[in-house]
């Protein structure tokens, strides 16, 4: 029995077994690849063809800083409010909106790549529904329609942080 105990003590002094070391190495490599993949996630946004269907829908409540440009993909949006009126300038086209009115942004195509490899290709269209103002922000319900289903984490990369997007 003392021989078995001394063998166990000498094994403990040597460290981890080879199998444990290999498993730990695999876990570290997988974790590093996942971290690199997150940091290399890119979204290229281009114009798209007309007539695309958008069966997948995700909705958010967003705020746009009044008078400051916001980029969603390649679309530049500026809202300017005064009293009960609001003008939305999307890609240079201005339109006066009243509460409850929608503004549809032209469809775009997005290609999502990870580690330089194309992962998802989808067309998308954004609709903003004016909800009023709050302080120096303009409030909207934003609907993102896509031609293929894409994960929420990817959609969140398309929406700028200063829009404070909250899922509906």
- Measured from the Cβ of residue 105, the count of other Cβ atoms closer than 10 Å reads 20
Placement of tokens 């199998």 in the chain: 19
- pLDDT tens sequence across 48-98: 666 678 899 999 999 999 889 998 877 888 998 877 778 999 888 899 988
Per residue in 125-160, pLDDT tens?
889 999 988 888 899 999 999 888 888 877 877 788
Nearest to 124 by CA among 97, 143, 99: 143
């Amino acid at each position: 029995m003392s021989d078995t105990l001394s063998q166990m003590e000498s094994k403990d002094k040597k460290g981890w077994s080879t199998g444990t070391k290999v498993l730990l190495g695999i876990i570290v490599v997988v974790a590093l690849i996942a971290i690199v993949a997150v940091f290399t996630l890119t979204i290229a946004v281009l114009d798209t063809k007309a007539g695309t269907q958008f069966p997948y829908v995700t909705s958010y409540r967003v705020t746009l800083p009044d008078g400051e440009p916001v980029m969603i993909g390649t679309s530049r949006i500026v809202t300017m409010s005064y009293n009960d009126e609001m003008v939305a300038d999307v890609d240079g086209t201005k339109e006066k909106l009243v509460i409850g009115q929608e503004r549809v942004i032209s469809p775009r195509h997005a290609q999502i790549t990870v580690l330089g490899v194309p992962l998802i290709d989808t067309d998308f269209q954004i609709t903003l529904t004016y909800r009023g103002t709050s302080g120096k922000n303009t409030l909207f319900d934003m609907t993102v329609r896509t031609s293929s289903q894409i994960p929420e984490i990817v959609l969140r990369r398309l929406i700028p942080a200063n829009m404070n997007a909250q899922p509906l």
